[in-house]
Structure 1
């Protein structure tokens, strides 16, 4: 965090190279975050650029008592909301854009089980409200704490925890129902 504050101060003093360091440090994280919300590769790339333009233009507004990564993720979240409002929908994922995680070392049974589990998880996430989806995305793709997620989404840490654990229980319940159907 201290490194980020030094970079921000350096940019505010006119050092553009420090901003390039910030971009290089956070561009992958921001792109993944946006893609996980929109599921559109081109839109994600465009919005990522908009995020960094906004960060540069509003850097003077950054409050150093908060994590810089949370601040930039909050900007990315707001840009996604603006995009969704403008286009009135979230694009469905293009399966060609998603890299398969399954390794070549997995047996055919393991690969099939992995794909089935992945499909179940993606379908569950697709059905969630926007806030719940963002909680799951931030928790699992960015490995953020409940406190950090609450800061980004502008809700209390306890509300994030409550929603997260309710979602987790709901997912487990849905999984049990599907499992019972397969056994019959």
Structure 2
């Protein structure tokens, strides 16, 4: 059982520090994963907070035979999709067009180490959402293909194909940005 699962079970048994540990361990990663879906860091932060609020208030059942991170990120994906539906009618400016993007930079700089990873992370934003999601889950969150398949509701074959296409698209995007395409 990973740390998230043990923390969640501690929380369910009345230990409020278990919940604090979950938020501390998963907030940044969950927010950045949701950002690959909604493409707005502020909405991503709000959606991540909603995920944690659901855990705190509703205390959904968690089956210990599954990865806690996979379970949590699946809740995050579903929450992000609901946010997209909710905000679909409203026209928002892209975060890149705003003059106050320092909040996004702080989260990214704390979470992503090194200039190369930052360049890759920025290139991910230009990719198709599905490509950005799979690359983020596999390479930044270090999930297995089967865990990513569960989160994205895809088969193993679809995940393998998606990873291949996503890596190819990332290489093209990095080359477009002046990088030699090496990851």
- What TM-score, normalized to structure 2? 0.71
- Name the structure 2 match of 1:28: 28
- Quote how far apart the aligned CAs of 1:122 are: 3.9
- Name the structure 2 match of 1:110: none
How many residues were matched structurally?
A: 164
Secondary structure, counterpart of 1:61 in structure 2? coil
Give 5+ residue unaligned stretches, structure 2.
110-114, 179-183
- Name the structure 2 match of 1:85: 85
Judge conservation of contact 2:125–2:132 (CA < 8 Å) in 1: no
Q: Which has the larger radius of gyration?
A: 1
Is residue 2:90 matched to residue 1:63?
no
CA shift digits 1:86-126 (9 cap, x unpaired)? 1117863326345397xxxx9xxxxxxx97x8876543x0x
Task: Report the Cα distance in structure 2 between the residues aligned to 1:170 and 1:143, rounded to whole angstroms.
Answer: 20
Task: Report the Cα distance in structure 2 between the residues aligned to 1:178 and 1:39, rounded to whole angstroms.
Answer: 19
- What TM-score, normalized to structure 1? 0.70
CA 50–77 in structure 1, closer or farther in 2 if over 3 Å, else same: same
CA 144–11 in structure 1, closer or farther in 2 if over 3 Å, else same: same
- Name the structure 2 match of 1:74: 74
- Name the structure 1 match of 2:181: none
Task: Report the Cα distance in structure 2 between the residues aligned to 1:139 and 1:118, rounded to whole angstroms.
Answer: 13
CA 93–16 in structure 1, closer or farther in 2 if over 3 Å, else same: same
CA 70–90 in structure 1, closer or farther in 2 if over 3 Å, else same: farther
